[in-house]
Amino acid sequence: SQTIHQWPATLVQPVGSPLSLECTVEGTSNPNLYWYRQAAGRGLQLLFYSVGIGQISSEVPQNLSASRPQDRQFILSSKKLLLSDSGFYLCAWSLGQVAVGYTFGSGTRLTVV
C-alpha cells in the first residue's frame, strides 16, 4: 500500500533562517507531488506541484522553492524565512491525469518568530 511521510511535524524558526521540509512517498512510482500551505483560518493554497524528477511548477510567487531530487522525494525550501511563511504545510500525492483524490501527508506546523 502507498504511504506518504512528511517531517518534521512542528517547527519554530526565527525570521531570516533557512527552511527545509521533506516529503517522501512509498509504494508507488512516478507520482504527482504537491505542496500546499494552509494559513490560520484559511483554505489550502497550492504552492508547487511536480510531475517528475526535476520538474517543478510554481503556482504563486513567493519566498519558497521546491525540488524533486528523486522520484518519490519532494522538498520545500527557503533561504530566508519571513513571518508570513508561518502556516500548516501539507505534502500530497496523486497518480496521472485521472481525477483521483489526493492523499495528504500529516503536515508540518511552521511558526516563524
Helical H segments across the chain, by residue range:
none
Task: Please tell me the distance from the alpha carbon of residue 106 to that of residue 89, in angstroms, as a whole number.
Answer: 9
- Binding residue for another protein (CB under 8 A) from 23, 90, 110, 112? 90
SS3 4: strand
Per CB under 8 A, 94 contacts another protein: yes
What's the closest the beta carbon of residue 80 comes to another protein, in angstroms? 27
Report, in Å, the least distance between residue 51 CB and another protein.
5
Instruction: Quickly count: other Cβ atoms within 10 Å of residue 98's Cβ.
Output: 6
Does residue 99 bind another protein (CB under 8 A)? yes
Answer for which of 46, 58, 71, 73 binds another protein (CB under 8 A) is 46
Q: Which is nearer to another protein, 77 or 106 (CB)?
A: 106
> By the 8 A CB rule, do 6 and 105 touch?
yes
Phi, psi of 41 (to 5 degrees): 70, 10
Q: Per CB under 8 A, does 11 bind another protein?
A: no
Could you give phi then psi for residue 83, rounded to 5 degrees? -55, -35
Stretch that binds another protein, among 20-28, 62-70, 74-82, 105-113 (CB under 8 A): 105-113
Toward another protein, which CB reaches closer, 3 or 17? Answer: 3
